Amino acid sequence: MTAQAFWDRQAPKYAKKPIADLTAYEEKLRYVKAILHPTDQVLEIGCGTGGTARNIAPAVAHVTATDLSAEMIRIALSRSEGYAAGKPEFLQAEASKEILGHPFDVICAFSLLHLVDDIPEVLDAVFSQLKPGGHFVSKTVCLKDAPRWIQALVRMLMAVRIAPKVIILSRTELTRQLIRAGFHIDQTKYFGKNRTSPFIVARRPVD
C-alpha cells in the first residue's frame, strides 16, 4: 500500500481523534505563534486535517497548507468552510514538492518528518523554499530515543501495516541532518511529559 493510500484510509478516523495532550499542543502553538509576524507567508507541510493551519492563519498574512493525502485535504477544506479572513489555502502535495508562493518566512512540519521517504530530500526542499533568515519549525517523533520495547512494537505494527512506514531516528541524527541541509538550530525543547518528539526551530542563515 502506498503512503497516500494509507493516509487516505486513516483520514476519517484521524479527523475524529482528540488531541492526545491538549496542554502540550497549546504550548506548542504558543511557541509557534511567538515566531510568527503579521506579514509572514507560511507553509505547513503534512498538515493533516488542517487544525494547526487554521489556528495559525489569523496571526499571519497567508498560510498555505499541504498534505500528501487527498482525503486529509478534503476534510481540511470542509472544516474551513465558513472561515473568511485568515483561511488557509489547502493543497494536496508531497512534502518535498516546490509550492507556489515560495519563498516563505516560516515553514512548519508537525508529526511529519519521521513519515516521509527521504528526510534529506524534504529538508533540502524546505531550505530552498525559505527566505534567508526564515524559520523551519518541526516537531516529530524520534523513536530511537524511545525505549526499545516501543521501537519493537512500532516495527511489529509496521510489519502488519497497522502503523505507517516510519523512519526510526534519534534527535541527534535529525539535528545533524538539519545542519547538513544548511540550517542553524535556534531552539530545541519538549512539551509535556513526552521526551521523544523534540520541537525544533531551525533557521536558514542570511546569505
Ligand X SMILES: C[S@@+](CC[C@H](N)C(=O)[O-])C[C@H]1O[C@@H](n2cnc3c(N)ncnc32)[C@H](O)[C@@H]1O
Contacting residues toward ligand X, per CB under 6 A: 3, 7, 45-48, 52, 67-69, 72, 94-95, 110-112, 115-116
**Nearer to ligand X by C-beta: 91 or 202?**
91
CB of 43 to ligand X, least distance (A): 12
**Nearer to ligand X by C-beta: 3 or 61?**
3
**Nearer to ligand X by C-beta: 73 or 202?**
73
CA dist 99 to 81, 115, 147, 151, Å?
A: 23, 19, 37, 34
> Contact at 8 Å (CB) between 90 and 66?
yes
Question: Cα(182)–Cα(136) distance, rounded to whole angstroms?
Answer: 11
**Nearer to ligand X by C-beta: 92 or 188?**
92
CA dist 143 to 4, 90, 150, 152, 190, Å?
A: 22, 29, 8, 10, 14
Burial 87-124 (b: 16+ CB within 10 A, else e): bbbbbbbbbbeebeebebbbbbbbebbbbbeebeebbe
CB of 96 to ligand X, least distance (A): 7
**Nearer to ligand X by C-beta: 7 or 183?**
7
CB of 157 to ligand X, least distance (A): 14
CB of 173 to ligand X, least distance (A): 19
Burial of residue 66, with CB atoms counted within 10 A of its CB: 0-12 exposed, 13-18 middle, 19 or more buried: buried
The residue whose Cβ lies closest to ligand X is: 48
CB of 206 to ligand X, least distance (A): 28
